[in-house]
Amino acid sequence: MAASAHETNIRCSAEAAKNFVDWYYRQVNEAKPIAQGYVNGNATYDRAGHAPADICINGLVVATPQEWEKLLEQQRQCPKQTDPNQKLVRYDVEVFNCHVINPDYRFAAPQKMLDLHAPTDGVRMMMMLTVGGTVYFGTGRNKGDGYFAKERFQDVFILVPNWDVLGKPGAKVGRKYLVASQIYRTF
Amino acid sequence: MAPPTGPRGARGARPGPRTTHGAGVGKHRATPRTDQDGDISMGSAIPATQSTGPPARSARGSRGARGGRAARSTARLAENVRNYVSDTDSSSRASKAQFNKTTLKIHGLKNSKAASNPDGGLRSLLEFLERKSSKERPITLGRGVIQGDYVFVKVSKDDAPHLLRLNGYTWAGAALAIEETSDPVPGHDRPSAKNPATADTEQKLLGILASRYNAEQKLLDLSALGSDPTLISLGSFASRSLAEKSFKVLLYLTSSQYDDAAAKEQAIQAVSLANNAIQDVAEVFTLAHTLPRLRRLDLSGNQLENLSKLSKWRHEFRRLEELHLVGNPVVAQSNSLSQIVDWFPSLQILNGERVRTPKEAADALAAWFPTPLPRLPSNLRDGENNIASTFLRGFFSLFDHDRAALAAQFYDADSWFSVSVDADHNRDPISQSYIKYSRNIGELGVRNPGTQQRLFMGGPLISELWTLLPATRHASLDQLDQWKIDCHTFPGLADPSGQGSAIGLMINIVSQSEEVDVRQQLAGIRTFSRTFVLGPSKPGAPHPYRVVSDQLTLRDWTPQAPAPAAAPAPPAAPIAAVPPAAPDEMTQLAMVQELAGKTGMTAEYSRLCLSGAANWDFNLALASFHEKKAQLPPEAFASSA
């Protein structure tokens, strides 16, 4: 059986997917930064010469996660609205799914990680995560609040290990997996 | 309705043995409670061992007694509330075990002088019965229900004889006939469509609405309602307060004509309320909630004096583009019009004059609400070989017609497939066919075995699963507006040779497909998204690239006219309808796949079975399979069966 079918990989990828989805959409909904979740600016990946994350938003290629943050900020703008229950943009995740597409990811991996973790350990995983849901415009903080407009969204991420965090067991700060690629679509 | 007056109060204050368990006694006995904590109170007459045993009533002191009483009264209160509120299903309530209750049927109310009272005399009848039956002890009657000539009332068994004794009494000029009955108490007499008078009024009002609706202009003309002959005859607009209520009823009926908000919004884009003597929009406020996305509104010829009379609507009608206020005093006031323009961000035409360009209106609205990001066309960055377009063209045509061949071509032993469903099974009945394979990690939970079991690996397994999924028909890729395809390459995939890394291609598609479920005889249009990761193939594969990962996400589904094979019957009807001969190719294929999935036969034998005596009747084919199962050769079954 291929390593990617290993039980540990499947479980760990599902856990990683859930952690990422919980974190990412909470940050977006609370207008907090998300750039630290991308490979851009990660010292280890930068040193090894990894290309910046390819981010495609509704057909528009944005160069950096910061630019994507700016688009999200632009989306939230409504200076005249004073009612807190009508001024937010809220992403509600309804469905997500994740596959390990390379259980033996090696790019920029410290030798220690290669020695320590076999491809069946659910650590050195490259994953594809798809997320589906609804984005509400002009709404409040909670599910079920009234809204002005809504759209469906589909978000796809390629996630790769963040060696800086995975290499330090017990590390409390930082994301375990980073976005190397993203496609976002509303419909 | 009987008022809960004197008798009930008297019963509550009735001196009885319970009062001897009062606070005075409890105070002394409060000490033993500390025994539970292990402190033996020497002052207590009760041995310490007793406190660990079953809680004796006396040892609990007043607290236990009080708790019990409180619990009883709460339960009774709850029961009363239930009885009072749940008049929806009286039969189930009647069948509930209420051993100490009996139902009395009282005749005579309709013939009495009290029958002309606003409540039909029910209240005074029950008061009379209470007064007359409470000779020995106070008796309180609950809610009575009038059904036809009878009044039904539920009483306790102890009280029943006292009430039955009143049989034959004369009350308000009518002889009362009281008898015990086993009939259930009928439901509360609500005004409903069954009531012929209500239904008649409803029909008249609907007629008015229909005659005042202009489908071409999508206009609902509610102008000069006060002079409408039908409404005058109904007396609906006789007084100002009645007019307000009648207006609400009209809007309610309007809403009830549409299945959902989108249909309503589409059908009614303009409303005229001209010449209705409106003094304040609060009188017609409901309109803002019935038609929040109204585009054109005519309020001319009313009596709106100043801005404050319009201000109730200042946070409504965010999409209102055209407003007419001519003939209202407010128009004459300085600044009022500019304030109105400010209140309604989408407003472009006020009293026939353009106040904003469409662009300015869009900007003004954007200042009030977050604005979705623009949607650009497909962004295909798949290199010079156009791998993505070539792959997708072949993929969806094969997925519609020959899924087994598709799996053999592009999926190898390490390919992944999973489907996840984001659906409400009421609106999307076909989702039932997918739901047992749905790998939505958020719904399953990460440690659910389903996350392992619903991950399909390897061409044969994937192909087998695909036979179980509903048949599909995708639009041609040349219909660009039907497809949103984004793709780009990324580094870091494992090279199949085992050495180094390879470039992958990530493709995300959002599109629609027609979908047919033969088993449920359902057809519809489905919005879906599908994401692929393509990577280099292993040596000897039919194509230089293979599918590494394929994730299908199912979204909204819109029902369509049933497929040719399906009888145009509601989904709830039994699937006994015989489909007409020779359904189209796609439906045939779907039926073959369905039968193969159900029986474990190969596609060839499934097709034989269906096209033979069964003549493409799925149920017949299935029945004949079960009949002849034993005679079938082993090669009739797929190896996995």
Q: Residue B616 sits in a domain of what CATH number?
A: 1.10.8.10
Q: Does residue B609 lie in a domain region?
A: yes
Contact B421 A95 (CB under 8 A): yes
Do B571 and B590 lie in one domain? The reply is no
Q: Residue A93: list chain B partners with CB under 8 A.
A: 442
Q: Does residue B36 lie in a domain region?
A: no
Q: Is the pLDDT of residue A41 over 60?
A: yes
A128-142, B216-230, B239-253: which is most confident:
A128-142
pLDDT of residue B72: 57
Give the mean model confidence (pLDDT) for residues A77-104: 90
Cβ A101 vs Cβ A44: under 8 Å: no
Q: Residue B459: list chain A partners with CB under 8 A.
A: none
Average per-residue pLDDT for chain B: 77
Q: Is the pLDDT of residue B229 over 90?
A: no
Do B434 and B539 lie in one domain? The reply is yes
Q: Is the pLDDT of residue A185 over 90?
A: yes
Q: Residue B377: list chain A partners with CB under 8 A.
A: 59
Q: Does residue B248 lie in a domain region?
A: no
Residue B367's identity, in one-letter code, is A
pLDDT tier at A36, thresholds 50, 70, 90: very high
Q: Does residue B27 lie in a domain region?
A: no
Contact B490 A105 (CB under 8 A): no
Q: Where are the alpha helices (DSSP H) in A62-176?
A: 65-76, 111-116, 163-166
Q: Residue B496: list chain A partners with CB under 8 A.
A: none
Comparing B49-58, B443-452, B542-551, which segment has the lowest mean pLDDT? B49-58
Q: Is the pLDDT of residue B75 over 70?
A: no
Do B470 and B440 lie in one domain? The reply is yes
C-alpha B627: how far from chain center: 43
Do B568 and B617 lie in one domain? The reply is no
Contact A137 B441 (CB under 8 A): no
Comparing A52-61, B189-198, B322-331, which segment has the lowest mean pLDDT? B189-198
Which residue has tokens 């407010």? B330
Cβ B488 vs Cβ B527: under 8 Å: no
pLDDT of residue B580: 41
Instruction: Give the C-alpha separation, B3 to B142, whole Å.
Output: 9
| CATH number of the domain that residue B478 is part of | 3.10.450.50
Q: Does residue B192 lie in a domain region?
A: no
Shortest CA gap A168–chain B (Å): 23
| Other CB atoms within 10 A of residue B330 CB | 20
C-alpha B281: how far from chain center: 32
Do B494 and B629 lie in one domain? The reply is no
Of the candidates B131, B148, B175, which is a domain's last residue?
Answer: B175
What residues 26-85 of chain A have any CB closer than 8 A to a CB of chain B? 50-51, 54, 56-61, 71, 74-81, 83
Q: Is the pLDDT of residue B413 over 80?
A: yes
Do B559 and B421 lie in one domain? The reply is yes
Comparing B478-492, B512-526, B540-554, B578-592, which segment has the lowest mean pLDDT? B578-592
Q: Residue A103: list chain B partners with CB under 8 A.
A: 494
Tell me the angle at which helices B459-468 and B585-599 cross, rounded to the nearest 10 degrees: 110
| Other CB atoms within 10 A of residue B334 CB | 6
User: DSSP states of chain A as a string?
Assistant: --GGG-HHHHHHHHHHHHHHHHHHHHHHHTT---GGGBSTT-HHHHHTTPPPPEEEETTEEESSHHHHHHHHHHHH--TT---TTSSEEEEEEEEEEEEEEETT--TT--HHHHHH--TTSSSS-EEEEEEEEEEEEEE-SSTT---SEEEEEEEEEEEEE-HHHHTSTT--SS-SEEEEEEEEEE-
Do B611 and B568 lie in one domain? The reply is no
Pick from B288, B334, B282, B319: nearest CA to B304:
B282
Q: Is the pLDDT of residue B12 over 80?
A: no
Q: Does residue B434 lie in a domain region?
A: yes
Q: Residue B555: list chain A partners with CB under 8 A.
A: 132, 152
Of the candidates B118, B153, B175, which is a domain's last residue?
Answer: B175
Tens-digit pLDDT profile for residues B82-123: 555 544 444 444 444 466 788 888 888 888 888 888 888 888
Do B592 and B628 lie in one domain? The reply is yes
Cβ B170 vs Cβ B113: under 8 Å: no
pLDDT of residue B84: 53
Q: Is the pLDDT of residue B409 over 60?
A: yes
* Half-sphere exposure in the Cβ direction for B472 (13 Å, CA): 24
Length of chain B in terms of residues written: 641
Do B506 and B598 lie in one domain? The reply is no
What residues 85-144 of chain A have any CB closer than 8 A to a CB of chain B? 86-89, 93-107, 126, 128, 130, 132-133, 135, 137-138
Instruction: Give the C-alpha separation, B274 to B291, whole Å.
Output: 17
Give me the number of domains chain B comprises: 3
Range(s) of the domain holding residue B129: 109-175
More confident residue, B616 or B246: B246
pLDDT of residue B368: 87
Pick from B583, B581, B582, B605: nearest CA to B593:
B605
Do B428 and B507 lie in one domain? The reply is yes
Comparing B296-300, B569-573, B609-613, which segment has the lowest mean pLDDT? B569-573
Do B425 and B396 lie in one domain? The reply is yes
Cα dihedral B91, B93, B97, B100 sign = negative
Q: Does residue B368 lie in a domain region?
A: no
Pick from A34, A166, A29, A46: nearest CA to A87:
A29
Instruction: Give the N- to C-terminal CA distance of chain B in Å, as an integer.
Output: 69
pLDDT of residue B3: 44
Most A CBs within 10 A among B412, B419, B422, hence the mutation to make, goes to B422
pLDDT of residue B538: 86
Q: Is the pLDDT of residue B332 over 90?
A: no
Pick from B470, B444, B483: nearest CA to A95:
B444
Calculate what percentage of chain A has a pLDDT beyond 90. Answer: 64
Instruction: Give the C-alpha separation, B330 to B307, whole Å.
Output: 6
Pick from B360, B419, B447, B443: nearest CA to B555:
B419
Give the mean model confidence (pLDDT) for residues B222-243: 83
A7 to chain B: closest CA residue = B452
Contact A99 B549 (CB under 8 A): yes
Q: Does residue B147 lie in a domain region?
A: yes
Comparing B33-37, B203-207, B611-615, which segment has the lowest mean pLDDT? B33-37
More confident residue, A99 or B603: A99
Tens-digit pLDDT profile for residues B40-52: 444 444 444 344 4
| Alpha-carbon distances of B328 from A44, B271, B276, B303, rounded to whole Å | 71, 17, 11, 5
Q: Residue B288: list chain A partners with CB under 8 A.
A: none
Residue B482's identity, in one-letter code, is Q
Q: Phi/psi of residue B333, each to 5°?
A: -80, 140
A:B CB pairs within 8 Å: 198
pTM > 0.90: yes or no: no
More confident residue, B576 or B448: B448
What residues 137-176 of chain A have any CB closer than 8 A to a CB of chain B? 137-138, 148-149, 151-152, 154, 156, 158, 160
Do B439 and B386 lie in one domain? The reply is yes
Most B CBs within 10 A among A44, A71, A99, A143, hence the mutation to make, goes to A99
pLDDT tier at B135, thresholds 50, 70, 90: confident
The shortest CB-CB distance from B370 to any of A76, A97, A98 is to: A76
pLDDT of residue A66: 95
Q: Parse chain A into domains and list their residue ranges.
A: 5-186
Q: Residue B553: list chain A partners with CB under 8 A.
A: 95, 97, 130, 132, 154
Q: Is the pLDDT of residue B582 over 80?
A: no
pLDDT of residue B188: 52
pLDDT tier at A97, thresholds 50, 70, 90: very high
Pick from B223, B307, B309: nearest CA to B270:
B223
Shortest CA gap B326–chain A (Å): 28
Output the CATH code of domain A5-186. 3.10.450.50
Q: Residue B414: list chain A partners with CB under 8 A.
A: 2, 4
Which residue has tokens 């039908």? B230
Residue B530's identity, in one-letter code, is R
